[in-house]
Structure 1
Amino acid sequence: MEGSCCSWKGMMDDGDEPHVLAVDDNLIDLKLVEKLLKNSSCKVTTAENALMALEYLGLGDDHKNKSNGSDLKVNLIITDYCMPGMTGYELLKKIKKSSNMKEVPVVIMSSENIPTRINKCLEEGAQMFMLKPIKQSDVKELRRRMTKYRS
């Protein structure tokens, strides 16, 4: 997607580990993603579904616990596409509509290679679409992009 690289700027402060929010309802996949990200020197927070992710980001429906986003710094969100309750695509749309979180890059992952789904996610603002199972080489490419587009 042309121009999408520009929002990768400022992903990491010099010397800081990027903080990644990983979202997947499959605990095995979630643990794999977490391990691969940690192997690539990322700080990882996990959520088992999109609603938990929204709560963590301060975008949930519970306004009492709503954060303004300034007290937590997430540099990247990586989410599964197919999840019960709310898909990764719906999560992406909510994040991109948020004034506090819209600049945070979102990567969608799926075990299904469906071009229309991939295009829909990229058009909505996803930075990348990765096929599962995620491999260390995928995470290295992600880190390369994050580093390449640092400001």
Structure 2
Amino acid sequence: MDVGDVSSTSSSFLGMGDYGEEPHVLAVDDNLIDRKLVEKLLKNSCCKVTTAENGLRALEYLGLRDDQQNTLNGSGLKVNMIITDYCMPGMTGYELLKKIKESSILKEIPVVIMSSENIPTRINKCLQEGAQMFMLKPLKQADMKKLRGQLMKHRN
């Protein structure tokens, strides 16, 4: 997994300056180009970014794999939001969402689902299961304003 190296400048851009830390976003996508694009957009919005190439890696990072104890992510890093692709091999973004929302420790973390397919039944299913938002790919810099709004709502 790539752990983003983000300078600590202009956190106040997100309105987080008083809290001294950049929001930490876990970005999950099996497509390298899409993953790098999301990572770049988030870093440009002054977020710390960790990436995972699939749902199992994301669960591993969060400490939710079946063979791990159900503790906060093993690395001890707090995640403020998870953004995941819907269509991934092995575990879909929807299945990842369900696992996160079933966790007593992680269920409050906002999860954003992204997809290149605009399928209303899929979107509704994700939102009903607890997704904060559903965004169409490719994400653009303008989409970061919506994500910042979600981060602001859920900051601790």
TM-score > 0.5, shorter chain as reference:
yes
Q: Superposition RMSD on alpha carbons, in Å?
A: 1.7
CA distance in 1, matches of 2:19, 2:48: 15
Aligned to 2:125: 120
Answer whether contact 1:57 1:67 (CA < 8 A) is retained.
no
Aligned partners of 2:146 and 2:140: how far apart in 1?
10
Tell me which residue corresponds to 2:47.
42
Structure 1 match to 2:147: 142
Aligned to 1:69, which of 66, 72, 85?
A: 72
Structure-1-length-normalised TM-score: 0.86
How many correspondences in the alignment? 138
Does the residue aligned with 2:25 lie in a helix, a strand or coil? strand
| Distance (whole Å) between structure 1 residues aligned to residue 114 and residue 35 of structure 2 | 11
Task: Return the alpha-carbon distance in structure 2 between the equivalents of residues 96 and 147 of structure 1.
Answer: 20
- Give the share of equivalent positions with the same residue, in percent: 78
Q: Secondary structure at the match of 1:25?
A: coil
Is 2:60 the partner of 1:55?
yes
Question: What letter is aligned with 2:125?
Answer: K
Structure 2: tracts of 5 or more residues without a match: 1-15
Give 5+ residue unaligned stretches, structure 1. Answer: 1-11
C-alpha deviation, 1:117, in angstroms: 0.2
1:139 and 1:78 map into 2 onto residues whose CA distance is: 12
Q: Per the alignment, do residues 126 and 59 of structure 1 end up closer, same or farther by CA in structure 2, a change over 3 Å counting?
A: same
Report which structure shows greater RCO (CA 8 Å, sep ≥6). Answer: 1
What is the distance in 2 between the residues matched to 1:149 and 1:92?
17
TM-score by length of 2: 0.83
